[in-house]
Amino acid sequence: MVYLNDEEKKMLDGNEGPAVQRAMELVVKMAEANGAERMVDVTSAHILCVEAVDMLFEVTSGMLKDAEVKIPTTTNAVSIHSDERARQMEIPEAIIDAQWPGICRLKELHKKAGIIPSYTCHPHPLKELKMGEHVAFTEFNVVPLANAWFGARTNLHGQTDTLASAITGKAPDCGLHLPENRWGEVLIEVDKGFGPEAFDSAFYGALGYWAGQVCVDRIPVFTGLPGNTTCRAVEYLGVGPLIRGSVGMFHVVGVTPEAPTLEAAFGGRKPGERFTFGKRELKTVYGELNTAKKSEVDMVCLGCPHCSLQELQAIARLLDGKKVAKSVRLWIATNEINYGLAERMGLIDPIERAGGFLNSSICAGTGFLLRFTESLGVKVVANNGLTLSGLVSRGTRGKVGVFFGNIEQCVNAALTGKWERG
């Protein structure tokens, strides 16, 4: 049985009203399911708002009925940010009709409950996380970055129990909340044969993908990566272990805060297994991810995860004075903060003059993937995100082909209508 303190007992007994009681009941259920002995106080939450809009609304409204969140709670990207914009992007009316009213209703729910309408898979600038801080996040990009880069502690929560944590400020003390469950288990040595130019976003994505395959539910520890590996690179790296396996935590020795040394990363224990990631492995991963048979590309999506300002600068520079090929749709996604700054920095004009769409708050992929691609007649999507690649190939059961690469490769494909195989 999970230990509850007086405050938690009161919530469970209904002293704070039925909404808090309902939420606490779920937190306790999750605690029991995970064998947690106690609760932790969580300081921040992150919830979903894309896909399965009707079900999402049903579940979210059930949990948020007469409730307010106790802790800062941000929201993930949406599928459509404005119906007008969706029409400009030639998203079919049927899809707008199916998605937009639900999204509006969800937004109302969020407003009533005091949820921050961030609509992004990169909410970290709003979070100001510190090492060891307990939080309750969901989503494939948000969770690994919070754990690995910031040293904050969260499991990959679901929607219902994240909402419950947001309403109660509590989460079960289990999994990645416990220090002993955060140590590395498998050593992945990056081969020394890679030159400094090799370490682009696609490399980190591919490495993470491969690590997820070999580690499954064990925490990877990476060595051999440059000491100046950035937050953004770690963000690309973190998706694979979750999408191919089921781990929302990893270490990069000399880079991430819980891995100052190899020994620290493994908590003084020996690696359970060790692997080397070299050029052959990289090639295999690209082979698996690039499912498109022909080199013609008809859609290019950037912003999985949501583009950083530096990435938007790079895209604007690459597109400046050029035209996206007639046969290609170029969709770029970022969050509201970066969108506003990009506007002031004059980055939107060159992108839109070239024929691309820069959107704030929408998911680079999810929103349109499962429903839009086929109705848009898209056969091949080029993109920079593992989540997106996986969603396209898996979501469409291989009917839509994928090219996975860095931003430069993707923009090039948008301009020429063709993917240049590396």
Partner 1 sequence: MKFNLEVHIANKGVVEGEALVCSKPFTFRDVNPLTGEVDTPGHDLMGKKVAGKVIVCPCASGISTEEFTMYGLKKAGFAPKAIVNGRTAFYITIAGAILAGIPMVYGLSPGCLGLIRSGDHVKVDGEQGFVEVSRA
Residues that bind partner 1 (CB under 8 A): 26, 29-30, 32-35, 48, 50-52, 55-56, 59, 76, 138-140, 155-161, 175, 216-217, 242-246, 387, 390-391, 394-395, 397-398
Which backbone phi and psi does 358 adopt, to 5 degrees?
Answer: -100, 120
User: How many whole angstroms separate alpha carbon 89 and alpha carbon 377?
Assistant: 14
Closer Cβ to partner 1, 155 or 308, answer by number: 155
Shortest distance in whole angstroms from residue 162 CB to partner 1: 8
Residues in CB range of 253: below 8 A, 6 or more apart: 221, 222, 223, 259, 261, 262, 265
Q: Cα 241–244–249 angle (5° rounding)? A: 20
Closer Cβ to partner 1, 324 or 363, answer by number: 363
Shortest distance in whole angstroms from residue 12 CB to partner 1: 16
Closer Cβ to partner 1, 192 or 397, answer by number: 397
Shortest distance in whole angstroms from residue 123 CB to partner 1: 14
Closer Cβ to partner 1, 25 or 336, answer by number: 25
Closer Cβ to partner 1, 384 or 412, answer by number: 384
Shortest distance in whole angstroms from residue 316 CB to partner 1: 30
Closer Cβ to partner 1, 244 or 329, answer by number: 244
User: How many whole angstroms separate alpha carbon 161 and alpha carbon 167?
Assistant: 10
Give 33-38 contacts, CB < 8 A, sequence gap 24+. 34/172, 34/174, 34/175, 35/174, 36/2, 36/172, 36/173, 36/174, 37/2, 37/3, 37/173, 38/2, 38/3, 38/4, 38/173
Shortest distance in whole angstroms from residue 362 CB to partner 1: 16
User: How many whole angstroms separate alpha carbon 251 and alpha carbon 147?
Assistant: 9
User: How many whole angstroms separate alpha carbon 58 and alpha carbon 306?
Assistant: 27
Shortest distance in whole angstroms from residue 116 CB to partner 1: 18
